[in-house]
């Protein structure tokens, strides 16, 4: 699908993450969906290997005007009894760790046992100027909730905080090992720490518990990225008003992604924090679904204009692009930047 004549240039996104103004309106998206990848790339997915899938993603991101492409470093993950094929799941479903015995019995994955070769294999297919953004296998809090169940975790933090700490530390170390391996490939130019932290009106755990159990691990991921001279980004859905200072000042993330109008619109988030952290995406997914292409274009252009002369903003959705988002509505967002 021909949308533009741009060539990828990761320096545009790096400028955004340094809170500078890029040379042209810059796009950011966590991930899209297979039918949209195929439409943008102009072909069907060919083959069933991780490299085949990544090639399609790279072609789609390139065709859409991005300066990077999202990748998973490997198929590393934490196994549970959760039904992954369902579109909607309970935070209390599929838990496997309830006590010290089940903690010791759980088959903890070793990140080094997984295949990261796609990060090297993509090299011949990665356009000049483009880098990969490596996502995690979910984040620390997400994976702990998957392993324990949300209600169980809340009770455990009160009844058995030692066990809760052990689970957080084990999950955190496993994810750190994953990132250490993935960042060893020079095709990677961005670390994405993806870990949903809250409901609409509060964080999943108290801010004090987030600071005790969750945030120290995210700081390690950001520090790792910075030690490799690449930016560290955070994707976290939900309420973040009480923990944004932690995100910026303690964890040290360069950019924050995921915004929702019902929590705090991206326009307000930009005005509040753009001088301290890059604001990524933010055009509410519900807005994109329900509004016309003309209305989407107008809001996107207004958001781009808001960042002119101030920097620190890349255009994209507030979360990601699931299949129920009308493709033409999302393409209106792309064109707002490409034709600005």
- Asked if 255 and 276 touch (Cβ cutoff 8 Å), the reply is no
pLDDT given for residue 153 in this prediction:
98
pLDDT given for residue 55 in this prediction:
98
Under DSSP, the state recorded for 280 is E
CATH code of the domain containing 19: 3.20.20.210
- Asked if 255 and 278 touch (Cβ cutoff 8 Å), the reply is yes
Pairing type for strands 255-257 and 278-280 reads: parallel
In a domain, 108, yes or no: yes
In a domain, 31, yes or no: yes
In a domain, 5, yes or no: no
Segment holding 72, helix H or strand E: strand 68-72
Tens-place pLDDT, residues 137-180:
999 999 999 999 999 999 999 999 999 999 999 999 999 999 99
DSSP codes of every residue in 179-201? HHHHTTSTTEEEEEEE---B-SS
Report CA torsion sign: 333, 334, 337, 340.
negative
In a domain, 95, yes or no: yes
Please tell me the total count of domains within the chain.
1
Could you tell me which residues are beta bridge partners of residue 278?
255
Q: What's the mean pLDDT in 195-212?
A: 96
Burial class from Cβ neighbours inside 10 Å (0-12, 13-18, 19+) for residue 159 reads exposed
- Asked if 3 and 217 touch (Cβ cutoff 8 Å), the reply is no
Kindly report the pTM of this predicted structure: 0.96
Which range has the worst mean pLDDT, 81-85, 191-195, 281-285, 294-298? 81-85
In a domain, 45, yes or no: yes
In a domain, 46, yes or no: yes
What residue numbers bound the domain in which 322 lies?
10-338
In a domain, 2, yes or no: no
In a domain, 3, yes or no: no
Query: 61, 5, 52: which is closest to 28 by C-alpha?
Result: 61
């Amino acid at each position: 699908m021909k949308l533009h004549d741009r060539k990828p240039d990761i320096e545009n996104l790096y400028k955004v993450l340094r809170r500078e103004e890029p040379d042209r309106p810059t796009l950011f998206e966590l991930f899209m969906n297979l039918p949209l990848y195929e439409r943008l790339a102009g072909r069907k997915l060919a083959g069933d290997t991780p490299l085949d899938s990544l090639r399609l993603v790279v072609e789609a991101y390139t065709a859409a005007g991005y300066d990077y492409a999202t990748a998973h470093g490997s198929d590393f993950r934490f196994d549970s009894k959760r039904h992954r094929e369902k579109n909607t799941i309970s935070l209390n479903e599929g838990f496997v760790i309830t006590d010290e015995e089940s903690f010791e019995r759980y088959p903890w994955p070793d990140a080094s046992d997984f295949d990261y070769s796609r990060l090297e294999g993509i090299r011949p297919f990665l356009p000049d100027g483009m880098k990969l953004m490596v996502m995690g296998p979910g984040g620390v809090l997400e994976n702990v909730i998957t392993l324990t169940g949300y209600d169980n975790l809340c009770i455990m933090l009160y009844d058995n905080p030692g066990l809760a700490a052990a689970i957080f530390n084990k999950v955190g170390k496993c994810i750190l090992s994953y990132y250490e391996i993935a960042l060893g490939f020079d095709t990677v130019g961005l670390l994405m720490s993806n870990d949903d932290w809250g409901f609409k009106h509060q964080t999943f755990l108290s801010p004090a518990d987030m600071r005790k159990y969750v945030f120290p691990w995210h700081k390690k991921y950001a520090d790792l990225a910075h030690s490799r001279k690449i930016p560290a980004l955070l994707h976290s859905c939900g309420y973040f008003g009480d923990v944004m200072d932690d995100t910026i000042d303690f964890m040290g993330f360069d950019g924050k992604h995921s915004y929702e109008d019902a929590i705090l619109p991206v326009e307000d988030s930009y005005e509040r924090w753009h001088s301290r952290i890059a604001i990524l995406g933010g055009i509410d997914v519900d807005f994109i679904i329900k509004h016309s292409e003309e209305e989407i274009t107008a809001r996107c252009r207004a958001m781009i204009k808001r960042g002119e002369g101030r920097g620190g903003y890349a255009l994209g959705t507030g979360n990601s692009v699931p299949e129920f988002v009308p493709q033409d509505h999302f393409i209106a967002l792309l064109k707002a930047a490409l034709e600005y």
